[in-house]
């Protein structure tokens, strides 16, 4: 009988001991409630004691939590409708205030989502589309984080970060913008082609002018060179003639015979007493005096006709 009572007492003590001990993990923080009223906060990991039946423990996550939002469609400062996909990360820094205001994480997510949407609409309403997607995206996200964190402090929450995954235009607006961008690129291409054609015409005109100048200068130089050559040739001929006039006259006559009596259909009508044939009559080239007057290359002694065969 006594052993049975002792066993019951041991069981009761074990149950009371089990109900009096609670353990806080490193990823948790706990509130000790007595009849619904907060009497203690446990933020460090380890085992703790509480009064059974009249006290209970509420655990809260100590880690950084994520808040995913559905796509939002705010309007930017340049009157463009955007499709924004954002998320936030936060943690519970004041478990007492968190429990008093929202009590649990799902409720906190709903409250925080409302704050984030309001801050996003407000900040993006002051920001242009270009600043959001290119110029100052990090600054916009930091402004949103500070605004949400200031409002979330009343819930015992600290907002660690706010990120905008995607910020695009709606499909209809995107197509219109793409069409306008294509038109602008085509206009720029047309202007570039026109400028290129103008530059090409200038280059061709300059090249034609330079070519004309070069050809004219080359012709001038060639004429000068040819004139110098002719002068030098005449000088040489004059010197040769002065050195031996008889031989020079003979040489010139031989050249005239070679050119004038070349085979062909050329006919020469000359006076037999013409000086052209003086070397045929006399090797020294002394022409006989004309017998009578010489009229137009013919004399009284008759004419001679030669045909080069």
pLDDT digits (tens, 9 = 90+) for 211-234: 999 999 999 999 999 998 988 888
CA distance 291 to 50: 169
Contact 144, 120 (CB under 8 A): yes
Query: In the predicted model, is pLDDT for residue 47 greater than 50?
Result: yes
**DSSP calls for 142-176:** HHHHHHHHHHHGGGTEEEEEEEEEEEE--HHHHHH
Asked if the model's pLDDT at residue 281 lies above 70, the reply is no
Of 64, 168, 73, the residue nearest 120 (C-alpha): 73
Residue 277: name the closest of 301, 241, 253, 255 by CA.
253
* Cα 123 to Cα 104: distance, rounded to the nearest angstrom: 28
Q: Please give the pLDDT value at position 294.
A: 42
DSSP state of 276: G
Q: Which residue has the higher pLDDT, 302 or 18?
A: 18
Q: What is the mean pLDDT of the chain?
A: 79
pLDDT-derived band at 52 (thresholds 50, 70, 90) equals: confident
Closest CA to 152 of 210, 110, 186: 110
CA 274 vs. chain centroid, Å, equals 89
Position 264 scores a pLDDT of 65
155 vs 152: CA distance, rounded Å: 5
Instruction: Output the pLDDT for position 252.
Output: 77
Mind listing the pLDDT tens digit for each residue in 156-168? 899 888 888 877 7
Q: How confident is the model at residue 37 (pLDDT cuts 50, 70, 90)?
A: confident
pLDDT digits (tens, 9 = 90+) for 137-160: 788 888 888 888 888 888 889 988
Is 0.75 surpassed by the pTM of this model?
no
Report the pLDDT value the prediction gives residue 189, as an integer from 0 to 100: 92
Residue 94 DSSP symbol: -
Quote the CA–CA distance of 134 and 152 in Å, as a whole number.
Answer: 28
Buried b (16+ CB within 10 A) or exposed e, 132-161: bbeeeeeebbebbbebbbebbeebbbebee
Over residues 252-271, the mean pLDDT reads 71
Nearest of 97, 80, 262 to residue 173 by alpha carbon? 80
- Segment 182-197, tens digit of pLDDT: 888 899 999 999 999 9
| Cα 119 to Cα 75, 79, 89, 151, distances in angstroms | 13, 18, 15, 10
Q: Which of 39-48, 179-188, 189-198, 243-252 has the lowest mean pLDDT?
A: 243-252
Q: Are strands 37-42 and 21-24 parallel, antiparallel or unpaired?
A: unpaired
Name the band, by pLDDT with cuts 50, 70 and 90, for residue 304.
Answer: very low
- 89: three-class secondary structure by DSSP: strand
pLDDT higher than 80, residue 109: yes
DSSP, res 181: H
A 10 A CB-CB count for 29 gives: 21
């Amino acid at each position: 009988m006594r052993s049975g009572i002792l066993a019951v007492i041991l069981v009761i003590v074990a149950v009371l001991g089990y109900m009096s001990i609670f353990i806080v993990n490193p990823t948790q923080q706990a509130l000790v409630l007595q009849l619904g009223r907060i009497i203690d906060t446990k933020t460090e990991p380890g085992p703790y004691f509480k009064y059974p039946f009249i006290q209970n423990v509420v655990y809260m996550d100590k880690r950084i939590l994520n808040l995913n939002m559905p796509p939002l469609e705010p309007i930017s400062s340049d009157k463009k409708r955007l499709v924004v996909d954002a998320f936030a990360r936060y943690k519970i820094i004041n478990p007492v205030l968190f429990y008093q205001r929202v009590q649990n994480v799902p409720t906190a997510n709903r409250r925080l989502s409302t704050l984030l949407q309001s801050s996003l609409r407000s900040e993006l309403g002051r920001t242009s589309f270009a600043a959001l997607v290119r110029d100052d995206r990090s600054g916009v996200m930091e402004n949103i984080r500070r605004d949400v964190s200031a409002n979330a402090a009343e819930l015992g929450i600290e907002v660690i970060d706010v990120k905008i995954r995607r910020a695009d235009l709606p499909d209809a607006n995107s197509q219109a913008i793409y069409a306008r961008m294509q038109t602008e690129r085509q206009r720029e291409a047309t202007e570039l082609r026109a400028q290129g054609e103008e530059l090409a015409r200038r280059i061709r005109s300059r090249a034609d002018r330079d070519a004309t100048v070069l050809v004219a200068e080359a012709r001038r130089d060639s004429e000068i060179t040819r004139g110098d050559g002719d002068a030098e040739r005449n000088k040489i001929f004059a010197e040769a003639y002065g050195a031996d006039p008889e031989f020079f006259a003979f040489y010139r006559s031989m050249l005239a015979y070679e050119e004038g009596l070349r085979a062909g259909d050329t006919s020469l009508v000359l006076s037999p007493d013409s000086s052209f044939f003086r070397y045929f009559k006399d090797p020294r080239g002394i022409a006989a005096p004309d017998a009578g007057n010489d009229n137009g290359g013919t004399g009284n002694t008759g004419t001679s006709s030669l045909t080069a065969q």
